[in-house]
A and B are shown apart, each in its own frame.
Chain A
Amino acid sequence: MNDGASQAAEEHDVIVVGAGPAGLSAAIALREEGITRVCVLDRESEAGGNPRHCAHPPFGMREYNRVLTGPTYARRMVAQARQVGIDIRVNHSVARIGEGGVLHVVHPEGVQQMRADRVILATGARETPRAARLVSGLRPLGVLTTGALQNMVNLNNLIPFRAPVIVGSELVSFSAVLTCRHAGIQPRMMIEEAPRITAWAASRALPGILGIPVLTGCRLERIVGDTQVEAVVLRLANGVEQQVACDGVLFTGQFTPEAALARMGHLALCLETGGPLIDQHGRCSDPSYFATGNMLRPVETAGWCFDEGRRIGKAVARDLSGGLPDTSDAIAVTVEPPIKYAVPQRILPGMKNRPLEKLQLRVLEVTHGELRVEQGGALLWHRRGHFLPERRILIPLAALQMTGTSPLTVTLRPG
């Protein structure tokens, strides 16, 4: 295979893969820390990441102290990065990563090998499509994810359907509703398999979500339609099957890290998050690689990712000057259901400087009970509470007095 291996690799101090909020803010932080050769690669034709097609507020409250739409926020971030001299290259796809920061890059002029002392992966997250949800039925046109819808509507001015059924009730599902309304699409209904709306606050902010019925405890049984979607069959909360005519199905949420580079490459992967395994500096199993943003875990807000990117950017700058210890005595963090994941998955004990100050958790289902962090049978931290899916749960790392190298176990006992 011609990987451009015959040419000498182009060298940088740091290459950031992905020009979304996390990647751009990591790059800006690196420049602030005095790192000169910082290059950001993005495979899209325009930098800015997913906010580019979320044509609605609220973005930028944490970063710019004002309420912006996604595209405005994206443009502002990109301008800020360019202003501090960051080399952003669009239409640059990383086909493969190799040990020691070697990247096989594809761009319209061909393939090229690039190398950096440190690489920051910030490739974001995407929604789980129909196939991976193992949904039954025929496979007609008109079945999309929110990302695909927003891409079509906001970047290409096309609409894929006029009366879809929306599956899911996460924050992004309400973003989808706004996109639909904006484009003159009238969703038939929103359905949620769980007994309650996942993004409850968002649903309150959009009274009656603009007249669209929301059915909770409702399962999508199958999709009907030969070439175009004609209907869906639902299983209602009371167990009754009902066919609903519609011309599209919009699968929203169930985010998964876009971590193909890590998965296909040599980096250790966390099965629970689907992203690379990191320590509290965002460092991967190959210490030349760091990761930040939503590729670490599904899924956080753009504001969170921007903040996290900055922290990881600073950690990488410190690492370049020899400031980070090696990872050999890292303590593993393990979880069990109903906890979905914990990030970071490795903690270097005894470090005052913690770019990621908190252990980030999510739960799989609504659980009332006691959250416990233990090490070798000793209780390090606990908290009783009511824990909801897709809500941020944070445990301060400073509160965990770790000893030795035995793993931390995080549990949530109902009751």
Chain B
Amino acid sequence: MRDDTHFDLAIIGGGVVGCAIARQLTLDGARVILLEKGHDILSGASKANSAILHTGYDAPQDSLELSCIQAGYAEYMEIHKRLNLPLLKTGAFVVAWNSQEQSRLDGIVAQAHRNGVTDVTLLTDEALRAAVPGLSDTAVAGVQVPGEHVIDPWSAPLAYLLQAMANGAQVRLGAEVTDGILHNGTWTLDTSRGAVRARCVINAAGLFGDIVEARLLDRHDFEIRPTKGQFVVLDKAARRHLSSIILPVPSAETKGIVLCPTIFGNVLVGPTAEPQTDRTRATVEGDTLLNLRERAAQIMPVMAEMPVTACYAGLRPATEQKAYRIKLHGDRNWISVGGIRSTGLSAALGIARHVAGLHAEMGDRLVPIPDPVWPQVPNLAEHRPRDWQNPGHGKMLCHCELVTQREVEAALVGPLPAGTLGGLKRRTRATMGRCQGFYCTGKLAALLQGHLQEPMDKGMVKR
């Protein structure tokens, strides 16, 4: 009989990092519960990013971030097929737009090589232009990073957590951790959905990491300083003009605005880097969105002709320092996983391995699951077969993204059904296309009745 109140590990936070840790430690043999205050996973920082799987070519030398990115990258390569996760090798080009930026390219190559990413090379303007057709002719020179990939930023963490669950982990949604006490080597966590007992707590609460530590540890050694990033998604017609990620030469403050193909067949431009204090509200700003559009056209002039499909903004859980803030508090049976600002998607699996190592330092002996289950997530990537290509899909629900009724129905059942409209969109892509729901809102609202915490409708028509 499984004990549903007592666990080896409680993970606070269902973002990409929490999901990856849940997977790793479950596979390592721990009894894991993941607590998420939202009504679906990926409700915070992880819902908005640029969906790149980084090589770590530009990460700080000898940093924990670098080793986590590279371990995460390697593990994603190893496991993605078994979870049916997509991977698209696009490569990236760091483009210098003036001589001052050009003078820093050698340093970028040197750092990449020091980081072990040895296939990174300097390109002359001629070679750059040949490699990136359509690039604005104001580009001066560039650096090629062949190993950068794009992935599905939402299916990946979903698959990590589903694998954890398939192998015994539990997930409690809508469960905000409000208080907790460590007594006789066991934490009792009070959540908005009941108490949970666990020997060790892993704080992966992202934008709320410092608040959770203040509540439970009465101290916190990092401070979250949210950084907002706004993005514009361009029509799928843009994708045929862009096959690689185009990066600027980074400044001291930010990695800058990226033009990036998505695994779903769009082109993404963003993010901005705007410090703010609010931890939940990420507004889009018309002027900024317009600037992003213009920036896309400056990088690649044909982008000026491409309509905007979507705009969004997300918050990155930066801290007062740049480095990851991962630390074992051995005396408190607590592991802090904070400050995973912008490389969380790439590094998550590596962070999970690192955290598992810290957990082992606590002396708990775990016996890895001998023959773990590998659930498969539905594929949403444009370059691989989608559900609509298979007979019996019911009918097309979302025409722009070719989402079938069968896909939507599948996302509403199973161990981790969509709890919010955002969660459903992330699982299926319904309404995420160019019409943004003009054609499918009605059908979708009818199909989703009774399934979501925040329904799309406000009741029936009264005639």
Which residues does A use to contact B, with CB under 8 Å? 1-3, 43-45, 53, 91, 93, 95, 106, 108-111, 126-127, 129-132, 134-139, 141, 144-145, 147-149, 151-153, 155-162, 182-184, 222, 226-228, 247, 256, 258, 260, 263-264, 271, 274
Contact = CB atoms under 8 A, between A and B. Distances in A.
B451 interface: no
Nearest to B388: A106
Given A134-B286, A264-B236, A109 B389 contact: no
B461 A144 contact: no
B443 A156 contact: yes
Contact of B435 (A108, A109, A126, A141): A126
Give the one of A156, A161, A227, A263 with max B CB within 10 A: A156
B281 to A, nearest CB: 6
Contact of A91 (B236, B396, B454): B396
Interface residues of B, number: 59
A45 B313 CA distance: 35
B431 to A, nearest CB: 9
A366 B307 CA distance: 25
Contacts of B437: 129, 144-145, 148
B385 A1 contact: yes
Given A108-B391, A134-B286, A159 B438 contact: no
A158 B305 contact: no
Main secondary structure of the interface of B (DSSP, over half): loop
A162 B310 CA distance: 26
B442 A151 contact: yes
Contacts of B391: 108-110
Contacts of A135: 284, 286
B330 interface: no
B461 A157 contact: yes
28 contacts: A95-B402, A106-B402, A110-B389, A131-B309, A131-B436, A134-B289, A135-B284, A137-B283, A138-B283, A139-B312, A141-B456, A147-B438, A148-B439, A148-B442, A151-B438, A151-B440, A155-B442, A157-B461, A158-B456, A158-B460, A160-B456, A160-B458, A162-B458, A258-B435, A260-B236, A260-B237, A263-B237, A264-B236
A45 B395 CA distance: 8
Give the one of B290, B394, B435 with max A CB within 10 A: B435
B300 interface: no
A132 B307 contact: yes
B442 A156 contact: yes
B434 interface: yes
Nearest to A130: B436
Contacts, number: 157
A226 B289 CA distance: 20
Contacts of B443: 151, 155-156
Contacts of A44: 439
A222 B4 CA distance: 45
A263 B285 contact: no
Given A151-B442, A151-B443, A160-B456, A226 B280 contact: yes
Contacts of A184: 461-463
A183 to B, nearest CB: 5
Given A95-B388, A136-B286, A137-B284, A159 B458 contact: yes
Nearest to B285: A136
B396 A160 contact: no
Contacts of B445: 152, 156, 158, 160
Nearest to A135: B286
A2 B440 CA distance: 25
A138 B283 CA distance: 5
A129 B402 CA distance: 19
Contacts of B458: 159-162, 247
Contacts of B409: none
A226 B391 CA distance: 39
A127 B392 contact: no
Contacts of B421: 141
A132 B438 CA distance: 13
Give the one of A43, A44, A131, A184 with max B CB within 10 A: A131
A158 B457 contact: yes
A91 B395 contact: yes
Contacts of B311: 131, 134
